[in-house]
Structure 1
Amino acid sequence: MSIALAAISILHLLDLVILITSTAANAWIVDGDLSADLWYKCTSKNGGYHCKQSINEDWLQAVQALMVLAVLFCLLSFVFFLCQLFTLVKGGRFYFTAVFQILASLFVMSGAIIFTVMNYAAASSSYGYAYVLAWLAFPLTLGSGLIYIILRKTE
């Protein structure tokens, strides 16, 4: 059972790192020297890197809020998992942890969908690795949330 707990903990921490990276990295949109994320739009010219704030639209603020909430809920669910690991009775399930993890997956999915629908990128631009990581975080977070529902505490 300790191997399963270690694997679940590693999966959860991996998911948390992916969520933090996708939220903070400057690579949601890439177009030559231009790269944009949820917070800044940066260009690299003449060996310098110049950043300015991203557009101030409601849909982008919603994506920002959803991604930050996904990171917070994933972090809280890991803390709750550790607390439940020591306080839960034998045979109990990790429902509280699972609810927070599934909510985190729904937040990241909603944020990525809103970004996909509302972003009017030029034909020459493409989605960057942070955008891909956000979509990768969704099934990982949902899967670990479902694992927490199934998981029972044993001695």
Structure 2
Amino acid sequence: MLLLLLGIIVLHVAVLVLLFVATIVSQWIVGNGHATDLWQNCSTTSGNVQHCFSSSANEWLQSVQATMILSIIFSVLSLFLFFCQLFTLTKGGRFYITGIFQILAESNSGHI
């Protein structure tokens, strides 16, 4: 049982790390002096001067940004609730609330 709990904790932490990296990473698409990510578009001119502008205000991009942030929030809540339920539930109790928040986090990040 201890090994199962350790595996669940590792899973929660791995999901959080992957979500943070995917949200914060600075270059998703790179090519020909141009780099694009979730938050800004950067281009390099001939004098190695880099100009960065915020990403376009398209509705789809704003929805992607919002779902990535919501996914991180739900994952953090899921990990916190897991620890709370771990120490407060009776032996054999079910982790329904933690599972619901983890499902919300995964569905927001587009993994389901």
TM over 0.5: yes
Q: Which has the larger radius of gyration?
A: 2
Distance across 2 between alignment mates of 1:32 and 1:76: 41
Structure richer in helix, relative to its length: 1
For residue 18 of structure 1, report the CA deviation from its aligned partner.
0.5
Identity of aligned residues (%): 44
How big is each residue's C-alpha offset from its partner over 1:27-74, in whole Å with a ceiling of 9 and x where there is no partner?
232333212112111124444443111101111111110110001001
Name the structure 1 match of 2:17.
17
Name the structure 1 match of 2:65.
64
Q: In the TM superposition, what are the counterparts of 1:16-95 in structure 2 within 5 Å?
A: 16-45=16-45, 46-95=47-96
Larger relative contact order (C-alpha < 8 A, sep ≥ 6)? 1
* TM-score, structure 1 normalization: 0.66
Which sections of structure 2, spanning at least 5 residues, go unmatched?
none
* TM-score, structure 2 normalization: 0.89
1:42 alignment partner, SS class: strand
For residue 2 of structure 1, report the CA deviation from its aligned partner.
1.8
Cα pair distance change 1:69/1:50, threshold 3 Å: same
Name the structure 1 match of 2:5.
5
1:43 alignment partner, SS class: strand
Distance across 1 between alignment mates of 2:11 and 2:93: 21
How many residues of Structure 1 are paired with residues of Structure 2 in the alignment? 111
How big is each residue's C-alpha offset from its partner over 1:69-95, in whole Å with a ceiling of 9 and x where there is no partner?
001001110000010000111111111
Which sections of structure 1, spanning at least 5 residues, go unmatched?
110-137, 143-155
